[in-house]
Amino acid sequence: MDFDQARFNMIESQIRTWDVLDQAVLDAVAAVKREEFVPEQYRELAFADMQIPLRPAPRDPGEVMLSPKLEARMLQELVLSSSDRVLEIGTGSGYVSALLSRLVTQVVSVEIAPEFTERAQGRLRAAGVNNVLLEVGDGASGWEQAAPYDAILLTGSVPMLPEAFKAQLKPGGRLLAVIGEEPVMTATLITRLTDIDYGVRGLFETCIPALRNVRRPTRFVF
C-alpha cells in the first residue's frame, strides 16, 4: 500500500470536502504518519473514513480512533495558536496528540487506560514528538493539576459537560466536546469570555463513544 498516496487522498477527498481548510491543520495531517498510530491489525484502514477500534474484538469496550475528517475538523474549530497550552482528554493511540504537537507549544494528554499511554509514548517518541506530556488518570472532569489551559479537547463524548472543565480554561480559552447521548450528539464549542461568562455554540452533529466514568444526567422514573 502506498501510504503517502493514501494520506494525500484522505486529505483531498475526506478532510478538505468537510470544510477543513486551515492550512496549519492540513500541514499537520500531511506530516504525521497516521499509519504508525493505528493498531497493527487495522493498518490497511488507517486512512478510511471510519472509526478504528483501539482494541481487537471481543476485548474492545468502545475506545476508538476517530475518523480522520472529524479529528481535523475538531482541531480547526479550536482555532489553535502556536503559543497555546492544550489539554487533551483521551490519549488513545496518540495520533491526535501528535497533530496537536505540531500546532501548539505544549499538550497535556490524559488517558485512563495505562496500556494506551504506554503505546502512545512509544509512537510519539518514534515520531520525534517532545512537547506532549502524557498522564495516566481519570480525566472525566478535566485535569486540574496543570490548569488553566488555552484550549481543551475531549476525544470521547459526554452526556453533559462537567462544570469543572469550564473553570480550567483561561479567559479567551476554547473547549470542544461532543455532548449528548446516542443517537443525538452535538460537537460543541465553549469559549470562556470572562471569569464568569461563557459562549456556547453548536457546530455539527456526530456520534462517538463516551469517555469512561462520565457523569450521566439523573433520570426520573414515575
**CATH number for the domain that contains residue 172:** 3.40.50.150
* Per-residue confidence (pLDDT) for residue 215, from 0 to 100: 73
- Entry pTM: 0.94
Rounded average pLDDT per 10-residue block, the chain, 222 residues: 96 98 98 97 96 77 91 98 98 98 98 97 98 97 96 97 96 98 96 96 97 73 52
Peptide bond into 159 cis (omega under 30): no
Contact 69, 20 (CB under 8 A): yes
- 215 domain residue, yes or no: no
Contact 168, 190 (CB under 8 A): no
- 219 domain residue, yes or no: no
- 218 domain residue, yes or no: no
- 213 domain residue, yes or no: no
* Per-residue confidence (pLDDT) for residue 9, from 0 to 100: 98
Domain total for the chain? 1
Three-state DSSP at 119 gives helix
Residue at grid coordinates 455532548: 179
